[in-house]
C-alpha cells in the first residue's frame, strides 16, 4: 500500500473549521458526537499530526494514537506527545509507523499539508457558523474527486482522492 497523507476535517459553510480556538458547532451534541465517532474510528491506532493551537484546544493527548504536535517554539514538552519542529519531520516519523499519516488540523497545518495530501476525509456541515479559521478550498478545484458519500441530517461524510498529479 502506498503511503498516504490524509487530511481529516469538519467544515461548515465557507469552509469554516474554528472560532476562538474552538469548534463552532461544539454545542450541537448530536453532530459533535457523530463526527467525533467517525474521527475516532478512522484515526484509532494511526499517527496523528496537529498544530500546537489545535493540541491546546483538544487539551489532551489523543489516546491509542501516536500524537505529533507541531511547534516552532524550542523547549516545548508534552508528556505522551512528540513535538516536531516542522511538518516534514512529523510526516516522515508518522510514516515510519504507518502508511497512513493523519493531519488533524488546524488551519495553518491544513494549508501547509494539502499540497502533498493524497486523501481528504471530510465532514461537510450545511450550516453557517461564525469562524476565524478555514480549511483550504478543495471543491471545484479539479484536484479532488469524491470516492465516498454518506448523507446525514444537515451534514455528510465525504472522502476525496486526488484526481491529478501533485
Ligand atoms: N473543524 C476541524 O476539523 C478542526 C480541526 C482542527 C482544528 N480546528 C480548529 O482550528 C483552530 C486552530 O487552527 P490554527 O490555524 O489557529 O492553529 P494550528 O494549525 O492548530 O496550530 C498553529 C501552530 O502550530 C505551529 N506550527 C504551524 N506550522 C508549523 C510548522 N510548519 N512547523 C512547526 N510548527 C508549526 C505553531 O505553533 P508554535 O506557536 O508553538 O510555534 C503555530 O502557532 C482552532 O479553532 C481549532 O478548534 C478545527
Cα(53) to centroid(ligand 1), Å: 4
Contacts of 21 (CB under 8 A, 6+ apart): 53, 56, 57
**Which grid coordinates are listed for 61?**
493527548
Rg (CA), the chain: 15
Q: How far apart are CA 37 and CA 34, in angstroms?
A: 5
Ligand 1 atom index nearest CA of 10: 3
Q: Which three cell numbers stand for residue 156?
A: 455528510
Ligand 1 pocket, Cβ-based, cut-off 6 angstroms: 9-10, 17-18, 21-23, 50-54, 57, 70-73, 85-87, 104-109, 112, 133
Q: Is the pTM of this model over 0.85?
A: yes
Whole-angstrom distance, CA of residue 92 vs CA of residue 142: 28
C-beta atoms surrounding 48 within 10 Å: 26
C-alpha cell recorded at residue 16: 469554516
Residue 55 Cα, ligand 1 centroid: separation in angstroms? 8
**pLDDT tens digits along 141-155:** 999 999 999 999 999
What's the total number of domains in the chain?
1
Looking from the CA of residue 55, the nearest atom of ligand 1 is: 20
Q: Nearest residue CA, atom 30 of ligand 1?
A: 86
Contact assessment for residue 41 and residue 33, using Cβ atoms and an 8 Å cutoff: no
- Please say whether the beta carbons of 116 and 5 come within 8 A: yes
Domain hosting 65: range is: 4-162
CA 96 to ligand 1 center in whole angstroms: 23
Query: Could you list the pLDDT tens digit for every one of the 166 residues in the chain?
Result: 699 999 999 999 999 999 999 999 999 999 999 999 999 999 999 999 999 999 999 999 999 999 999 999 988 999 999 999 999 999 999 999 999 999 999 999 999 999 999 999 999 999 999 999 999 999 999 999 999 999 999 999 999 999 865 5
Burial class (CB in 10 A: 0-12, 13-18, 19+), 63: exposed
pLDDT at residue 164 in the model: 67
Q: Which of 22, 39, 72 to mutate to test the pocket of ligand 1 (most atoms within 8 A of CB)?
A: 72
Residue ID of nearest Cα to ligand 1 atom 13: 106
Separation CA 162–CA 145 (nearest Å): 6
CATH for 125: 3.40.430.10
CB atoms within 10 A of CB 130: 9
Residue of minimum CA distance from atom 47 in ligand 1: 22
Neighbours of 125 (CB within 10 A): 21
Q: What is the pLDDT of residue 165?
A: 59
Amino acid at each position: 500500500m502506498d503511503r498516504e497523507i490524509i487530511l481529516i476535517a469538519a467544515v461548515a459553510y465557507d469552509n469554516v473549521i474554528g472560532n476562538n480556538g474552538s469548534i463552532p458547532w461544539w454545542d450541537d451534541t448530536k453532530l459533535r458526537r457523530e463526527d467525533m465517532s467517525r474521527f475516532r474510528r478512522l484515526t484509532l491506532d494511526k499517527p496523528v499530526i496537529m498544530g500546537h493551537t489545535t493540541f491546546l484546544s483538544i487539551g489532551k493527548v489523543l489516546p491509542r494514537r501516536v500524537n505529533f504536535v507541531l511547534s516552532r517554539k524550542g523547549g516545548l514538552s508534552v508528556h505522551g506527545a512528540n513535538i516536531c519542529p516542522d511538518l516534514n519531520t512529523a510526516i516522515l516519523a508518522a510514516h515510519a509507523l504507518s502508511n497512513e499519516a493523519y493531519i488533524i488540523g488546524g488551519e495553518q497545518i491544513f494549508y501547509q499539508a494539502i499540497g502533498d495530501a493524497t486523501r481528504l476525509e471530510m465532514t461537510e456541515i450545511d450550516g453557517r457558523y461564525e469562524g476565524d479559521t478555514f480549511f483550504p478550498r478543495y471543491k471545484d478545484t479539479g484536484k479532488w474527486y469524491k470516492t465516498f458519500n454518506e448523507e446525514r441530517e444537515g451534514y455528510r461524510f465525504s472522502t476525496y482522492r486526488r484526481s491529478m498529479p501533485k
